[in-house]
Structure 1
């Protein structure tokens, strides 16, 4: 799959620019094992890079022009690095413009490049194709022009590009996972200070399966902002009650329970979810260390229940997908993944049962919603990197 993508992008580059590309880079999408909606609530997250990629074929062109070709869209876009770079109407090009602008802003010298890119990361499935594009382009420029940017700086440039040129106020998790990913490792990331540690994620006879609901409800943007406001209100009230606490990380479940009437039903349930989810990430790390995959699965189901009932960011389709595998002996855990109101569920499934589960759930999903379910079998892979393939001579 990876090799095929590289070959297709290389061939497309030769067709567009009349020569073999000088460099090939791969930038992965990401999953999050557990730790949802806690990146902006002082919690920890547990993401990993996956074997779905944006592939970039790149050559220096000796000018100040950046010439881009989006193979999947069959669209071209060019800009001059000497110009004042601004976001434009071509949405996908803004990722590249933002990265180039932010690198220039650091006083680093860039020259023009020709770029062809293509992706195997499903769009709209919540696997962070945007972070892969930003970080892949920043990584490519850093590599080609020896800019001396650290991995952390590349992730932060990707995030800021999305904030300022794309207009999405994302957390750092997506970019961090795309750049810092390691094969068969999850990253326990502290979103406050970017402290991180790797933990083994070799699931033995189990594997990760994503079931894509193929829906995106319009509630995502408004629902996200509402939740942020609700938890901020809740934390302010809890701080007034418990002056010794600074963040949700300092709170116990019992303290939140004791303030149920003070908080009011909705804010109470939002805060309860956050405190429980922060603890679940710590418990999940412990379960991974002990290779207690049954426990990990239980935590995933518990997260889904919390996201559905207390944080209320699920939807009928995601609840259906989680419930469809809940009592299957071959499935240890499942939960909705990402912002909510659509996207994927992530499932921990016995390897030899994967195809049967896809078949069964897809049929039930089609019957219920008349939507064709997409399934992605994924592996945990390394982060953004230079592609080397001696056999292909690339």
Structure 2
């Protein structure tokens, strides 16, 4: 699939621009084993890059003109570096424009370019296609024009582009995982300091299976930003009464219970989920290091219950997928993954039962919702990279 993606991207570039591209880059999507909605709450997360990619074919234009071809959308966007870089009226270019605007603001030596990109990362599935676009583009500009950026700076630039040009106040996890991923490794990332460490992703007789609900409810962006405000409000109340608490990792469940009335039920539930989830990530790393897959599965399932009942970012379709999968003895754990309100469920499944799970859950899902489930068997891959021509 990767070879086909590269071949098709190069062919489209040649057809559009009349010559082969000078450079090829691959930026992966990502999964998150556990640690949902805690990256913007200064917690820990456990993501990994996966073998689904955006391929960028790029050459210098030898002018101030820039052209971007979105192959999968069959759309083209052109602009000049002579003019200010502002958000576009259509959304897809903004993930790249937001990155480029930061480079220009810092007076980095970017030049005009021609670019075509295509993807095998499913849109709206919670696999961070937007972060792959931002970081793949930033990585390409950095390599082509020798901007001297570190991988961490590329990730932070991608995050800021999402905030400023796409309007989503995301945390750093998606961009970090896309850039820093390593084959067969998960990343334990401290979202406060960006310190990180790699852990082996050897699931032995088990596999990670993604079940794409094929739904994305329209309140993702608004709901995501609402949750961020709700947790910020809750944390400010906690800080008023517990001055030594700097962020949620300093906070305990006991403190939240004592402040429940002052927090109010909504803020309490949001904060309670975050505090418990930060601990679950630490427990999950320990479980993975000790090959305790039963414990890892239980933690994943606990996360889903928290996301659905306390953080309230799940939906009927995802809840159904999780509940149906968990009825199977070969499924050790399952949960919603990503921003929420649709997207994917991630399941820890016995390897030799993957096809059975797909068949069973797909049939039940179709019967209940009339939607064809899309399963993804994924492998953990390396992060954003140059592809040698």
Deviation string 1:70-110 (CA, Å, 9 cap, x unpaired) is 11111112211222211122321222222222112222112
Query: Who is 1:391 aligned against?
Result: none
C-alpha distance in 2 between matches for 1:162 and 1:265 = 30
Cα displacement (A) at 1:270: 2.1
Per-residue CA deviations over 1:246-280 (Å, capped at 9, x if unaligned) read: 22211222332333344333332222211110100
Other structure's SS at 1:366 match: helix
The match for 1:61 is 61
For residue 373 of structure 1, what is the aligned residue in structure 2? Answer: 373
**How much does 1:371 deviate?**
1.0
Tell me what 1:342 maps to: 342
In structure 1, C-alpha distance between the alignment counterparts of 2:306 and 2:191, rounded to whole Å: 21
Q: What is residue 245 of structure 1 aligned with on the other side?
A: 245
Q: How does 1:1-394 map to 2 (within 5 A)?
A: 1-388=1-388, 394=389
With normalisation by structure 2, the TM-score equals: 0.96
- The verdict on how the C-alpha distance between 1:365 and 1:158 changes in structure 2, with shifts beyond 3 A counting, is same
Once residues 21 and 223 of structure 2 are traced to their aligned partners in structure 1, the CA distance between those partners, rounded to angstroms, is 44
| 1:28-68 Cα shifts (integer Å, max 9, x gaps) | 11111111111222211111111111001112232221121
Partner SS, residue 332 of structure 1: strand
Deviation at 1:386, TM superposition (A): 0.6
| Structure 1 runs, 4 residues or longer, greater than 4 Å off | none
The secondary structure found in structure 1 opposite 2:348 is: strand
* Shift in CA distance, 372/143, structure 1 to aligned 2, threshold 3 Å: same
Q: 1:184 to 1:60 in 2, by over 3 A?
A: same
Q: 1:163 Cα shift?
A: 1.8
How many Å apart are 1:291 and its aligned residue?
1.5
Cα-Cα RMSD: 1.6
Equivalences, count: 389
Please say if residues 298 and 333 of structure 2, whose CA atoms lie closer than 8 Å, have aligned partners that are also in contact: yes
Q: Secondary structure at the match of 2:30?
A: strand
Provide closer, same or farther for how the CA distance between residues 238 and 118 of structure 1 changes in structure 2, counting only shifts above 3 A. Answer: same
Moved more, 21-30 or 102-111: 102-111
Q: Distance in 1 between matches of 2:103 and 2:155?
A: 12
What are the ranges of 5 or more consecutive residues in structure 1 without an aligned counterpart?
389-393
